[in-house]
Each structure stands twice: as C-alpha cells, then as structure tokens.
Chain A
Amino acid sequence: MDVGSAGSSSHDDPVLPLLPCRSSRGRRRRTLVRKFLLSDLSHFSPFPQMSSAAESQFHVLAVDDSLIDRKLIERLLKISSYQVTTVDSGSKALEFLGSRVNDDRSSSDSLPSVSPSDHQGVEVNLIITDYCMPGMTGYDLLKKIKESSSLRDIPVVIMSSENVPSRITRCLEEGAEEFILKPVRLADVNKLRPHMMRTKKLKGQEQEQELQEESVTHCEVRSQPPRQHELEIEQSQQDQSQQIQQHQQQKSGNNNKRKALDVEEGLSPDRTRSRYNGVATF
C-alpha cells in the first residue's frame, strides 16, 4: 500500500506520517510492547499515581431506588475492595456517567472516552443496576448505555428480586453481562471482577486493533484523525507534527481517548522513538 503522498501540505487530512501499512511482524512487536506496558504501568506511566489508582481499584456504579438495597450493595462492593458510587435512579446514573450519552457527535467516537482526569465524566468499570425502578427501569438504562458509543463498553449487570426467565433473556440479549437475583450476596459480587478485568484488557486490544485498522484505512482513505501518540515525534519532524496538531485541534473530541491512550500506554519519548525510527518517509 502506498503512503508516498504523506506529508503533502495541501491535503485537508494530513497523512499520518508515522503509520505506514505494516508487516505483521511489526504488529506482533507492538502487541508485545503494549501488553508489557499495560501490565507494568507503574514503571512507564508519566502519571504513576493516577495509573496505579486506575489499575488497582475498580470503580462500580450501583443504581437502585431502594435505600436498603443501596446500602447493602455498597457494603458488598466495598468489602470486595471496589470503589463505589450509588445513585437512586437511572437518570442520575446517566448524569454521573457524563453528558456523553446525549451527545450525538459522540457516536463518531470509536473508543470509550474514559480517563481519570476527564472532568466530563468519571471512569466507571462496571454498572450494577436494579431492574424494577420507577421511571427508567434497569433495562431502559442498559439500553441507553449500550446505545452510547462512549459508554457501551462498560459492563452492565442487572439485579432483580424476581426470577422471570423472559426478563433475564431480554437483559442478556441487550448486552448485560450477568443477571443477579436479589438478595445479592458476596458470592455474586465475586463474579463481577472478571467482567471488569476483561474490559480493561479489551480497551487495550481495541486500541491495538484501531491502530491496525487505521494503518490500513490510511493507505486507502485518509479520513481518520491522527492519534495522540503521533504528536510525540522527533524534533526533526516538527513540520509534520504541526500539521497534525492543527488537525487535532479541529477534532478536539478525540482528545479524551488520547488521554486514555497516554495514561494506559504510558508513552515515553524513548518508546515512541523506537517505534517510529526510520519508518517515516518524507
């Protein structure tokens, strides 16, 4: 695939100079590097405290209109070492999760915009919600979450006091990870961790996949906006970086996911250099 036209300043979309279509060997190396980084954030992250906090403590949002059940689920989650936020309705849950749900433009984002430093919303690793609630039911909430590109990767678990098979099926089909019968017990809460861990890994894999896809897309149609790590290029390539930066300012919606990339990948200049050395062709 040809990237020869990279660097031409007349293009609206500056070509991504640092991601030519790669051989599979390059991809494997990147996967290895990424896996290593994700598992060893404390060494590589520029924000060690933030990443170790994000890494070691999962944050659960619990939604239930019953005060007693909120108290119970909060205690169950805290005993299991999770950070907990409880709200008493689906609409408050959406409010807490941030305004992204109502933002139509967010549907163009392909990555969940979650970052500890994101003031728009808080990072949530799992949502556990009661089914029967006045106004917005747990099912309604589940649907809204799955319809939101920024929230849909957050695992959702439904709780209900009633064992209704059709209800359970409906929820699972809509994307709920689990359906837990109330009263909720410690054993039920123990089942939640794998879902939260999988999402963290998934985010890493998604980013990996996006990079791959982008390198292919880029060769054909330069429509994807450049990514944050491409800003971290050597001094000698500042012209191109300025072009990219300008382009990025236009697409400010992507900043959040790039922050996430930064925090999660813990990019250091050294790493960037080793990735892109000798690859750019201008």
Chain B
Amino acid sequence: MPRFHGQSNHAPVDIVNQLQKQYVDYLSSLFHEGVLDDQFTQLQKLQDESNPDFTVEVATLFFVDSDKLINNMAAALERSPVDFKQVDADVHQLKGSSSSIGAMRVKNLCITFRSFCETQNYEGCLICLQQVKNECAVLKDKLQNLFRMEQQIVGAGGSVPLMD
C-alpha cells in the first residue's frame, strides 16, 4: 500500500471495502451452493470481543471430530461382519455436529448414509462414506479460505460483515 503513510494500522478504506466485498461474495456463494446453511450465521452471531474466535474454534472441533468419526466408520465397514449399528451411531453423531455448525451438505449426506445403514446396504454405505469424506475436505478448504479472508479484513483494520 504505497500511498498509506498514516500512523494507524488501517489500510485505506477502499482496500477494506474491497476485502469485505470479496468476503461477502464468497460467503454468499457458500450459502448458494448449499455448503453452509443459516446455522453458520447463527454461529457467527455468537462471536464477539469476548469470544473473537468462536466460529474458528467450533469449526476446528468439527474437523477433529469428523476425522475421527470417518476413520471409525471406515474401520467398521472393513470388518466382517459389518456392525451397521455402530456405523449408524457414528453417522448419527456426524449428522448432529455438522448440523450444529451449519454444514448442510455434510448433514444431508449423513441422512442418506443413515438410511443405507438401516437397510444394511454395504455398497451404499461405502459410497456415502466416500462422499462424506470428500465433502468434509471441501468444507475444510472453503472454511479455511473464509477465515483467512476474515483475518485479512481485521488485519486491514476493518470489521467482518455479518450476513443476515
């Protein structure tokens, strides 16, 4: 920022505005694509000066939890005979936590996954497992982008816009 000679850490207003606009566009696309739902906005509303990293913390917990659950499911599906009840219990848990953070696509995949567990459909379970794995990876990537953009805005002296 060659024009910026001020004493504060604020970037010129137009830079902050630009970053904010990019952020809003990106977040909107996540809602539009169904990656996130309104619950994510609810999470963001719980963030404030006293808990500035709440959303990041919850998201981090989610990824640790989902990794563990996905590994459990994979292991259970590799055993013989397959314990579908155990797989279902893990999917149920993943469904709950994805719902809690607003990860809509992951949640919907879990719903399908559970029906395959109930009918003890091995192939269906394997396909769902792969899809859930992929979707969690995509979500992680996108949320990391989002949080990075938030950091850039804050670093430039601006505030993160809240979707409504």
> A186–B100 contact, CB under 8 A?
no
> B99–A182 contact, CB under 8 A?
yes
Answer yes or no: B42 CB below 8 A from chain A CBs: yes
A71-B61 contact given A76-B46, A186-B42, A186-B45, CB 8 Å threshold: yes
Distance of A72 Cα from B47 Cα, bound (Å):
11
> What's the minimum C-beta distance from A72 to chain B, rounded to whole angstroms?
6
Question: Interface residues of A, CB < 8 Å — how many?
Answer: 15
Per a CB cutoff under 8 Å, which of A67, A75, A182, A185 touches B51? A75
> A183–B51 contact, CB under 8 A?
no
> A68–B54 contact, CB under 8 A?
no
Residues of B within 8 A of A76 (CB): 46
Contact with A along B86-105 (1 / 0, CB 8 A): 00000011011101111000
Contact with B along A72-88 (1 / 0, CB 8 A): 10011001000000000
Chain A: CB-nearest residue to B66 = A68
Chain A: CB-nearest residue to B95 = A161
> B46–A79 contact, CB under 8 A?
yes
Distance of A61 Cα from B134 Cα, bound (Å):
37
Question: Interface residues of B, CB < 8 Å — how many?
Answer: 22
Interface centre among A132, A161, A182, A185 (most CB of B within 10 A): A161
Distance of A68 Cα from B96 Cα, bound (Å):
9
> B46–A68 contact, CB under 8 A?
no
Distance of A76 Cα from B47 Cα, bound (Å):
10
Contact with B along A200-231 (1 / 0, CB 8 A): 00000000000000000000000000000000
Distance of A194 Cα from B163 Cα, bound (Å):
30
Residues of B within 8 A of A132 (CB): 92
A66-B42 contact given A75-B51, A182-B99, A182-B100, CB 8 Å threshold: no
Answer yes or no: A262 CB below 8 A from chain B CBs: no
Q: Which A residues are within 8 Å of any B CB, using their own CB?
A: 66-69, 71-72, 75-76, 79, 132, 161, 182-183, 185-186
